[in-house]
Structure 1
Amino acid sequence: MSGLNHRKSYYLENDDLKDVNKLEDKLKALVKYDIRSITELEKWLAQERVLNNEIQETMIGHKIDFYRDTANPEKRDIHMYDQSIIRPILLKYQAELDKKFCDCPFAGELDASKYGFVRQARRTKVELFRKENIQLAVREKEIGAKYSEIMGGLSIDWEGEKKSYSFVKAQLDHQDRTIRERAWRALAEARSRVKAEIDEMMNELVKLRHQTAVNAGFDNYCDYMFRVKNRAYHIQQCYNFQSSVEKHIIPSWKRLSDGFRKELGVDKYRPWDSSVKVLERKPFSTVHELMEGIQIMLGKTDPYFEEQFKFMRENGLLDLECRIGKYSGCFMDPLPASKKAFVFANFSPSFAAVIALIHEMGHAVNVCMQFANDPYFQEEMLRDETAELYSHGMELLMLDKLDTFYGDGREFRNAQREALRRSLGLLIGPLSRELFEYWIYTNPNHTSEERDRKFLEISKRFKNSPVDTSGLESEVAASWIDTTHYFLYPFYAIEYSISELGALQLLDIYRSSSERAVALYKRSAGANLNQSIAEIYRQTGVEFDFSEPVMKRTAEFLEGLFEELK
């Protein structure tokens, strides 16, 4: 296939992907491997891990190449080759390898401190695997790639120039309310141009995900995903969490929003007024300035953090420029064969860009410490509730260093307030996303119009509860299409809210002793992932607890911090 021979310096290319027969021969050899002792089992696992890491790194690299330039047909074709040709092969043989492991009489003798969670995850995969779901999984990836291409290709005419969707999104931070409103409406108009097509894509996703769940013996995709993700809590706890947020967090959100509204000097809090909007200037002008500032902040927090960032800068492991045709958003991807991390972001100069890069560096530090500390580490061992603890934790560890970008005393306090407002929002927005997905997948025969109405209803209950959306209901109702997770990462939402509770506890420790908080962060970021989530949280000095008393204390803690920054 054209383009498959082109090597990239930032990731390792596994040539087996170009030759399906050669790839299958290696996988078949693992399936037929004769395991007669626990020593041979561990040797087999090591061989499997090496091959899997090489394949995954190549496929991740191809995906990143595509996201960096979604309009490039060659990069799109390589990525789609991986999804349509390679992925079905991997799913088929992975099921055989999982079964071989689980059936092996020596699997139960493996050291639980090295293999405990992997053993649990593989048993779950064997339990849930259905051959007929392979093609459904492939189609799901194809739809996700198409969504990325559509959103990455959105452009907007702005002041006589064609600008990227991400550029216009950054204008929502502008102090001038008329510019914010113009940007908000321009973004809504851009989404409206692709809404019908994306609705059809989501309709298909809902159907195929529901069928995946039914094939595996579940009533709905919601129950299925709780099992897939090996969640350490049940759905009723999630509903209780939502009730606690409505009882304790939403009132704080409304009180603080009312204060922000008065600062803005407006009678009504409209969608384009959804944050403080009192930062007087852009924090940086160029990507170089952004990287310089973040490196300084990381260095002031801990030398190891700065060292990792410098390595990534010097080795082409960062793509932070805003441009048309680039996938909208940001993420970190591990490169498991070369033991590195890649950070991708598409933001114009804005406060959001600063926080996003800090967030993704939290993920990068986490995986790099795992690579360094655990030779058995595999990405599937990263549970979302722990992964997000380190990204949100990194944001809050650097809260007191935002003066790197906002040097004026008052502006510095405003930047800190904006960061804390994000913390409060993370207890609300992701939770409402999960609630939306509960509805979507327990009502799989819903219409596009019903889906929009449900999103609007949930939005008004949670994130937009202080906002006057009158006359803009259809635009708000359709804005869910801007959320990548619904298409690429289903049921990856409540973990953000749970982990933010832990990160805020870490901030409380930091306020008493910055050295202790950073030491706890580093100790747990490289901790043994075969432990329970609760044990990993405790190593960070915090509790894995999202009960109502914790919610109440958190609301009071955040409101106290806002009071200090007035």
Structure 2
Amino acid sequence: MKFKDYLYQRPNIDEIKAKYEASIEQFKNAKDAQTQIEVIKNVFKISDEVDTMQQLVSIRYSLNTQDEFYTTETDFMDEVLPTIQNYGNEFQKEVVASPFKQELIDAFGQYYFDQIEVQLQSFDEKIIPLMVEENKLGSKYAKLIASAQIEFQGGTYNLSQMSPFTQNIDREIRHQAQLAVSGFFKSIESELDELYDQLVKVRTEQAVLLGYPNYVSLGYKRLGRTDYDETDVRAYREQIKRDVVPMVRKLGKRKSVRLGIKDLKSYDTIAFLSGNPTPKGDVTWQLEQATKMYQELSKETHEFFTFMKESELLELDSKKGKASGGYCTFIPGYKAPFIFANFNGTSHDVDVLTHEAGHAFQVYQAKDFINPSQRFPGYEACEIHSMSMEFFAWPWMESFFKEDATKYYFNHLSSAISFLPYGALVDEFQHEVYQNPTMTPKERKDTWRRLEKIYLPDKDYDDDTFLDSGTFWYRQIHIFDSPFYYIDYTLAQVCAFQYWIRNHKDHKEAWNSYVALCKLGGSKGFVELMKSASLESPFVDGTIKKTIEPLFAFLDTIDDTVL
């Protein structure tokens, strides 16, 4: 079946409520563990039915944010999902109170109960109106960003379509493209400030109603973090400041020499004077290369990618009205991953394809898990799959980039290392914002710029006074949509670097470990999944330094001045 034929029907809230109420009664009246086990399995099915419809609405709305039908259905979902979550919450209260709890743990695993615990601690019926408001504000941000119509060099472009200009070989074109993008964000500055202010307040209000001093602890629980906390993350960020920032500055100096530009500016986004590496064909051609790559990588990837193509589960073109960014999600009723991207002719096309394919490959391996919450792991473990897949794809990069392959290797690895400080910056910024929720918009911008100078000390915005005022974070969707998620990318990157090292030593061992990790899905927490895959924890002091040293040794083997 093709994706276009996947059937959407608006969920009937009364029917869903009746199903949950009946399940709760059956569960409470059960005389033995086996009966309760069967009720739990049935509730998993109810959850999948709702989630299937929610995913179809979300995907089809993101494909065209101007589609009136799916705009209406998105508003409907924003309204009712918190109520549906409440039904599930009431059922989970009964599960943790079961007299047959040990038998249930034997059937579904201890981690199932750990997940229920953080869910119960992060939800209560009294915050439903606030959650509805939060959902609507998130949808408003997506629509606002998708509305970009930027006039540049005789054309009109959305944000994704501006990327080739911001990476143009001509420095002045890059400069003017940055100013044009900043001009768009400046035109909606007051709206974004107000929108984010409302999001911070509505999230803080939820936290206070649930008994938390601020949103930080609640945000961690909403992300399902069961085996580490903000203290671990703070110590991890300190490693980045100490061990990564100085190394990234060295990469900046290499780039300065390479480009022959003494004082690099924020618009000097190209890595090489001859231009950044670019894929040597259009979307269709890149898909052909990806098909060949996954056919050759392993039998598992061959089967997976064939399914994705034949079912038309990849939407890669950038189009008017399409939401920005890229993502992978899963449609449970069809056991189908879905990949969404906005190709723009840059190397990012290949990165986002391999990245999202890593997510999709993982959930395809775990698609038969009956527990919906354990097909994907937590966000930080999820990103191990995606970022590691980018590295496992390296042997095929010559197919995509031809003569630019060495450029790609150097740029991909150095960019991944350079990303760590930015990811930690986003995280520390959010901690400061939610620990001080009464900050004014100006105070938030000042906070961003102050932290930027710690994590990215060489960033110089030149004459872009808008960005220099501390507004770069406007374009980081995670800050608006998913508080505290962004650090997960960096945690996973450190783990993915370890797979890069292992893959260079013994491909078979590394790949088998990776596939085994994918098949575990979300059956364990982040720390336990790392142990299962013999990955060293980023939270342990010294792990980051130990991990990036071999990467720099590799980069030192490349004479980047000739690229």
Secondary structure class of the residue paired with 1:343: strand
Alignment of 1:475 with 2:467, yes or no, is yes
Q: Which residue of 2 aligns with 1:319?
A: 315
Cα-to-partner distance string for 1:231-283 (whole Å, 9 max, x where unaligned): 42222222221221111101110001111111111121111114514446631
Q: Which residue of 2 aligns with 1:176?
A: 170
After superposition, the Cα gap between the structure-2 partners of 1:111 and 1:224, relative to the gap in structure 1 and judged at 3 Å, is closer
Q: What amino acid does structure 2 have at the position aligned with 1:114?
A: F
Q: Structure 2 CA distance, aligned partners of 1:380 and 1:397?
A: 22
- Please say which of residues 272-281 and 322-331 is displaced more in the overlay: 272-281
1:73 is matched with which residue: 64, 68, 73? 68
Secondary structure class of the residue paired with 1:433: helix
Q: Structure 2 CA distance, aligned partners of 1:181 and 1:300?
A: 41
Q: Structure 2 CA distance, aligned partners of 1:327 and 1:523?
A: 33
1:204 is matched with which residue: 198, 201, 207? 198
- Please say which of residues 484-493 and 22-31 is displaced more in the overlay: 22-31
Task: Give the drift of 1:387.
Answer: 0.7
Q: What amino acid does structure 2 have at the position aligned with 1:236?
A: T
Q: Is the 8 Å Cα contact of residues 157 and 163 (structure 1) preserved in structure 2?
A: yes
Alignment of 1:236 with 2:231, yes or no, is yes
Q: Is the 8 Å Cα contact of residues 283 and 343 (structure 2) preserved in structure 1?
A: no
Secondary structure class of the residue paired with 2:362: helix
Task: Give the drift of 1:475.
Answer: 1.7
Q: What amino acid does structure 2 have at the position aligned with 1:155?
A: Q
In structure 1, stretches of 5+ residues that fail to align are 1-6
Q: Which residue of 2 aligns with 1:519?
A: 512
Task: Give the drift of 1:422.
Answer: 2.5
Cα-to-partner distance string for 1:269-326 (whole Å, 9 max, x where unaligned): 1111145144466314422112112222333322321321221122121111111211
Q: Is the 8 Å Cα contact of residues 244 and 547 (structure 1) preserved in structure 2?
A: no
Task: Give the drift of 1:11.
Answer: 3.7
Q: Which residue of 2 aligns with 1:360?
A: 356
Q: Which residue of 2 aligns with 1:3?
A: none
Alignment of 1:561 with 2:554, yes or no, is yes
Task: Give the drift of 1:102.
Answer: 1.5
1:465 is matched with which residue: 432, 435, 457? 457
Q: Structure 2 CA distance, aligned partners of 1:247 and 1:110?
A: 45
Alignment of 1:30 with 2:23, yes or no, is yes
- Please say which of residues 526-535 and 302-311 is displaced more in the overlay: 526-535
Secondary structure class of the residue paired with 1:498: helix
1:496 is matched with which residue: 463, 486, 489? 489
Q: What amino acid does structure 2 have at the position aligned with 1:207?
A: K
Secondary structure class of the residue paired with 1:559: helix
Secondary structure class of the residue paired with 2:150: strand
Secondary structure class of the residue paired with 2:339: strand
Q: Which residue of 1 aligns with 2:246?
A: 251
Q: What amino acid does structure 1 have at the position aligned with 2:98?
A: C
Q: Which residue of 2 aligns with 1:55?
A: 50
Secondary structure class of the residue paired with 1:204: helix
Task: Give the drift of 1:517.
Answer: 1.1
Cα-to-partner distance string for 1:396-425 (whole Å, 9 max, x where unaligned): 1112321111111xx211101111023203
Superposition map of 1:279-428 within 5 A? 279=275, 282-372=278-368, 374-378=369-373, 382-408=377-403, 411-428=404-421
- Please say which of residues 530-539 and 89-98 is displaced more in the overlay: 530-539
Q: Structure 2 CA distance, aligned partners of 1:55 and 1:39?
A: 25
- Please say which of residues 239-248 and 435-444 is displaced more in the overlay: 239-248
- Please say which of residues 254-263 and 533-542 is displaced more in the overlay: 533-542
Task: Give the drift of 1:335.
Answer: 1.0
Q: Structure 2 CA distance, aligned partners of 1:514 and 1:333?
A: 28
- Please say which of residues 103-112 and 307-316 is displaced more in the overlay: 103-112
Q: Structure 1 CA distance, aligned partners of 2:205 and 2:375?
A: 24
Q: Structure 1 CA distance, aligned partners of 2:5 and 2:428?
A: 38
Identity %: 21
Q: Which residue of 1 aligns with 2:149?
A: 155
Task: Give the drift of 1:112.
Answer: 4.3
Superposition map of 1:189-200 within 5 A? 189-200=183-194
Task: Give the drift of 1:381.
Answer: 5.7
TM-score, structure 2 normalization: 0.94
Q: Is the 8 Å Cα contact of residues 156 and 163 (structure 1) preserved in structure 2?
A: yes
Task: Give the drift of 1:379.
Answer: 5.0
Q: Which residue of 2 aligns with 1:46?
A: 41
Cα-to-partner distance string for 1:425-460 (whole Å, 9 max, x where unaligned): 332222111101001100100001111111112222
Q: Is the 8 Å Cα contact of residues 334 and 379 (structure 1) preserved in structure 2?
A: no
Q: CA RMSD in A?
A: 2.0
Q: Structure 1 CA distance, aligned partners of 2:283 and 2:196?
A: 34
Q: Is the 8 Å Cα contact of residues 355 and 387 (structure 2) preserved in structure 1?
A: yes
Alignment of 1:271 with 2:263, yes or no, is no
Q: What amino acid does structure 2 have at the position aligned with 1:294?
A: A
Secondary structure class of the residue paired with 1:345: strand
Q: Structure 2 CA distance, aligned partners of 1:325 and 1:223?
A: 36
Q: Structure 1 CA distance, aligned partners of 2:287 and 2:52?
A: 25
Q: Is the 8 Å Cα contact of residues 393 and 503 (structure 1) preserved in structure 2?
A: yes
After superposition, the Cα gap between the structure-2 partners of 1:112 and 1:482, relative to the gap in structure 1 and judged at 3 Å, is farther
Q: Structure 2 CA distance, aligned partners of 1:527 and 1:459?
A: 37
Q: What amino acid does structure 1 have at the position aligned with 2:189?
A: K
- The number of equivalent residue pairs is 553
Q: Structure 1 CA distance, aligned partners of 2:430 and 2:276?
A: 37
Q: Is the 8 Å Cα contact of residues 534 and 543 (structure 1) preserved in structure 2?
A: no
Alignment of 1:225 with 2:230, yes or no, is no
After superposition, the Cα gap between the structure-2 partners of 1:402 and 1:421, relative to the gap in structure 1 and judged at 3 Å, is same
Q: Structure 1 CA distance, aligned partners of 2:280 and 2:215?
A: 43
Q: What amino acid does structure 1 have at the position aligned with 2:530?
A: Y
Q: What amino acid does structure 2 have at the position aligned with 1:54?
A: E
TM-score, structure 1 normalization: 0.93
Q: What amino acid does structure 2 have at the position aligned with 1:271?
A: S
Q: Structure 1 CA distance, aligned partners of 2:375 and 2:192?
A: 29
- Please say which of residues 302-311 and 44-53 is displaced more in the overlay: 302-311
1:104 is matched with which residue: 98, 117, 133? 98
Q: Structure 1 CA distance, aligned partners of 2:523 and 2:39?
A: 20
In structure 2, stretches of 5+ residues that fail to align are none
Q: Which residue of 1 aligns with 2:85?
A: 91
Task: Give the drift of 1:177.
Answer: 1.6
Q: Is the 8 Å Cα contact of residues 184 and 272 (structure 1) preserved in structure 2?
A: yes
1:444 is matched with which residue: 428, 437, 440? 437
Q: What amino acid does structure 1 have at the position aligned with 2:108?
A: K
Q: Which residue of 1 aligns with 2:449?
A: 456
Q: Structure 2 CA distance, aligned partners of 1:461 and 1:379?
A: 37
Q: Structure 2 CA distance, aligned partners of 1:528 and 1:165?
A: 34
After superposition, the Cα gap between the structure-2 partners of 1:281 and 1:119, relative to the gap in structure 1 and judged at 3 Å, is closer
Superposition map of 1:424-435 within 5 A? 424-435=417-428
Q: Is the 8 Å Cα contact of residues 37 and 106 (structure 1) preserved in structure 2?
A: yes
Task: Give the drift of 1:377.
Answer: 4.7
Q: Is the 8 Å Cα contact of residues 501 and 554 (structure 1) preserved in structure 2?
A: yes
Task: Give the drift of 1:470.
Answer: 4.0
Q: Structure 2 CA distance, aligned partners of 1:396 and 1:565?
A: 17
Q: Structure 1 CA distance, aligned partners of 2:396 and 2:264?
A: 30
Q: Is the 8 Å Cα contact of residues 427 and 497 (structure 1) preserved in structure 2?
A: yes
